Structure 1
Amino acid sequence: MAEALSLDDLRRWLEHFADAVVSQEATLNQLDSATGDGEHGSNLSRGVAAMRRALADQSFADAQSLLSSVGMAIVNSVGGASGALYGTVFLRLSDAGAGVTELDLSRLADGFASAAAGVSELGRTTPGDKTLLDAIHPAAQALREASAAHLDLGTGTDRAALAAETGRDATAAMAARVGRGSYLGDRSLGHIDAGATSMAQLFRSLHVATASR
């Protein structure tokens, strides 16, 4: 089994994520309605539709051009925080793919570490604020640890997905400290964050694409 994701693998990852977002749109909206405007699923569905068009309309010389096109498609099609944050994730991740057509575990770890830092900077958030950072931060750490331990790609992406899902579930016990949810104070307790939910799906889709090669 190849220990790196090809451009075709990256496309399969993003297509799987897009399918998941569309199928979970109502659930994501429902989660978001507890602490936000109730549109996270709808907004992200619009973003992945634009992403699909970008992937279908272009050929790519390297992983950077593919991922940056995805990031810009989302930024240009989704308003508000979701578009900016998801766009940042893919634009930061794209730096790890400069000049290469495959992403191994080390490059994925570097890219997602940069993506998590970008989300933190843009959203002015830290882990524990009840945002999508609570999913991407532990997932990026899991990738870093898997790379340092020289684990195989499938194991590394599975650990990242599990870390993101654990982070997602932990948001239920957090009080929102940023965004619209922060106005609710303790009333935001007991609700899983919608952004962390979609971000956990991004990592689960990454593992599915890795395992299905």
Structure 2
Amino acid sequence: MTTTLSQDAVTAWLERFCTEVEAAEAHLNELDSATGDGEHGSNLSQGTAAVRKMLRDNRFGDIREQLDAVGMALINSVGGASGALYGTFFLRLSAVGEGRTALDLAALAQGLGSAVAGIRELGGSSPGDKTLVDALHPAVDELELPATRSASLVTALDRAATAAERGRDATADMVARMGRGSYLGDRSRGHVDAGATSMALLFRCLHSSAEGAA
């Protein structure tokens, strides 16, 4: 039974996310067009292209160095708020990878908790505001449950991904309180948030990569 996520598995996670984002680009744009500028998929795909190149062209001594490079690639290449938010996600997560070439569940939970805090500080968003936090927050909450913390790595990440997907789906009934969607008021209800969708995808890719390495 695999108890840690190796640096190779982290690379597989990142590459899988790049592939899935690029495949979902049109869908993410369509979701974003209902409450935003319709460019979430295009912006994020531009970032994943930069991440792919960075991963191909570099070698990393530890996971912190790797995830720091991912975060900066996203910040430097993605337009709109997505670059700053996803960049912050990886920059905050990276701290637990200092001197490590593998992460156990406790380290992942700690790093992801820091990522939630960083994104909320940056964007000022809270659960229920119809943002990517609505997928990220429940996923991290799931990882902090005693029953999940005592589960295998793959099982715990599956539960976190499922929680993120439930959070994504719940945004359809929310009224946007942040960004362009907030100007629509009640008209923003009835649409799944694009950022929550891409964040749920990130967690499902994390689970799939851990499962593939098991």
- Structure-1-length-normalised TM-score: 0.98
User: Which residue number in structure 1 is paired with residue 156 of structure 2?
Assistant: 156
User: Which residue number in structure 2 is paired with residue 7 of structure 1?
Assistant: 7
Q: CA deviation at 1:144?
A: 1.8
- Aligned partner of residue 175 in structure 1, secondary structure: coil
Superposed CA deviations along residues 154-191 of structure 1, whole A, max 9, x for unmatched, are 01100000000000000000000010000000000000
User: Which residue number in structure 2 is paired with residue 173 of structure 1?
Assistant: 173
Structure 2 vs 1, CA of residues 58 and 147 (structure 1 numbering), >3 Å: closer, same or farther? farther
User: Which residue number in structure 1 is paired with residue 118 of structure 2?
Assistant: 118
User: Which residue number in structure 1 is paired with residue 63 of structure 2?
Assistant: 63
Query: Would you say the 8 A contact 2:109–2:140 is kept in 1?
Result: yes
- Aligned partner of residue 212 in structure 1, secondary structure: helix
User: Which residue number in structure 1 is paired with residue 32 of structure 2?
Assistant: 32
- Aligned partner of residue 68 in structure 1, secondary structure: helix
Structure 2: give runs of 5+ residues left out of the alignment: none
- Aligned partner of residue 145 in structure 2, secondary structure: helix
Structure 2 vs 1, CA of residues 147 and 62 (structure 1 numbering), >3 Å: closer, same or farther? farther
Structure 2 vs 1, CA of residues 115 and 147 (structure 1 numbering), >3 Å: closer, same or farther? farther
Q: Which amino acid aligns with 2:178?
A: V
Superposed CA deviations along residues 31-88 of structure 1, whole A, max 9, x for unmatched, are 0000000000000000001011111111111110001100000000012200000000
Q: How many matched pairs? A: 213
Query: Would you say the 8 A contact 2:96–2:110 is kept in 1?
Result: yes
CA distance in 2, matches of 1:79, 1:197: 18
Which residues of 2 match residues 22-171 of structure 1 at below 5 A?
A: 22-145=22-145, 149-171=149-171
CA distance in 1, matches of 2:184, 2:106: 40
Structure 1: give runs of 5+ residues left out of the alignment: none
CA distance in 1, matches of 2:70, 2:61: 14
Superposed CA RMSD: 1.0
Structure 2 vs 1, CA of residues 20 and 90 (structure 1 numbering), >3 Å: closer, same or farther? same
CA distance in 2, matches of 1:52, 1:106: 28
Give aligned-pair identity as a percent: 61
Superposed CA deviations along residues 85-121 of structure 1, whole A, max 9, x for unmatched, are 0000000000111111101100110011000111111
Query: Would you say the 8 A contact 2:149–2:156 is kept in 1?
Result: no
Q: CA deviation at 1:149?
A: 3.6
Query: Would you say the 8 A contact 1:109–1:147 is kept in 2?
Result: no
Q: Which amino acid aligns with 1:84?
A: A
Q: Which amino acid aligns with 1:86?
A: Y
CA distance in 2, matches of 1:106, 1:12: 20
Q: CA deviation at 1:146?
A: 5.5
Runs of 4+ off more than 2 Å: 146-149
Q: Which amino acid aligns with 2:201?
A: Q
Query: Would you say the 8 A contact 1:105–1:147 is kept in 2?
Result: no
